[in-house]
């Protein structure tokens, strides 16, 4: 089978994430409006506009919504590398600054290692305007069952 083009890869990953197929209701809300700019095996780059539903009492992007986004994007990038369904077995996130509602951020995810059924990913969230670091997530995943349709990445 021919390798899909970057345009096709972007469309495959974008559709699953943007259509809410990457998680449940809260997860879908946390990803509402995300745009996948680049996606290839073991790498994703997205832009995300923080919307009103994700704010805390101070008008900042709620830390729980950030963690949800990091977990789903990390799992998605790991899936592109392994073509297995993923279960998060270790999750660590560090917060460096806040992002306000209606602020655009850049989310970059990379697979940084794989051994047997384990894979590791790092997800960085930065403000798009000045590249200020908002959060970094480090995640380990365990592969469960092979996906019915392997990742096309």
> Predicted confidence band at 56 (pLDDT cuts at 50, 70, 90)?
very high
Chain-wide mean pLDDT for the chain?
Answer: 83
pLDDT score for 27? 67
> Predicted confidence band at 24 (pLDDT cuts at 50, 70, 90)?
low
Please state, as a whole number, how many other Cβ atoms lie within 10 Å of the Cβ of residue 137: 23
Q: How does DSSP assign 83-137, residue by residue?
A: -EEEEEEEEEEEE----BTT-EEEEEEEEEEEETTEEEEEEEEEETTT--EEEEE
Is CATH 3.10.129.10 correct for 6-146? yes
pTM for this one? 0.79
Q: What is the pLDDT of residues 99-147, one digit of tens each?
A: 999 999 999 999 999 988 899 999 999 999 999 999 999 999 998 765 5
Please say whether the beta carbons of 153 and 6 come within 8 A. Answer: no
Q: Which of 55-59, 124-128, 148-152 has the highest mean pLDDT?
A: 124-128
pLDDT score for 83? 75
pLDDT score for 1? 43
153: pLDDT strictly greater than 60: no
9: pLDDT strictly greater than 60: no
Q: What is the mean pLDDT of residues 9-29?
A: 59
> Predicted confidence band at 29 (pLDDT cuts at 50, 70, 90)?
confident
> Predicted confidence band at 86 (pLDDT cuts at 50, 70, 90)?
confident
Please say whether the beta carbons of 9 and 43 come within 8 A. Answer: no
């Amino acid at each position: 089978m021919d390798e899909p083009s970057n345009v096709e890869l972007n469309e495959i990953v974008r559709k699953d994430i943007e259509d809410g197929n990457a998680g449940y209701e809260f997860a879908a809300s946390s990803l509402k409006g995300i745009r996948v700019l680049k996606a290839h095996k073991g790498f994703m780059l997205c832009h995300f506009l923080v919307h009103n539903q994700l704010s805390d009492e101070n008008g900042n992007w709620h830390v729980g919504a950030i963690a949800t986004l990091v977990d789903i994007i990390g799992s998605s990038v790991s899936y592109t590398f392994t073509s297995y369904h993923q279960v998060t077995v270790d999750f660590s996130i560090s917060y460096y600054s806040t992002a306000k509602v209606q602020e655009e951020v850049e989310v970059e995810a990379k697979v940084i290692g794989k051994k047997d059924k384990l894979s590791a990913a790092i997800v960085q969230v930065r403000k798009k305007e000045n590249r200020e670091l908002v959060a970094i997530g480090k995640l380990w995943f365990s592969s469960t069952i092979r996906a019915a349709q392997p990742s096309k990445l």
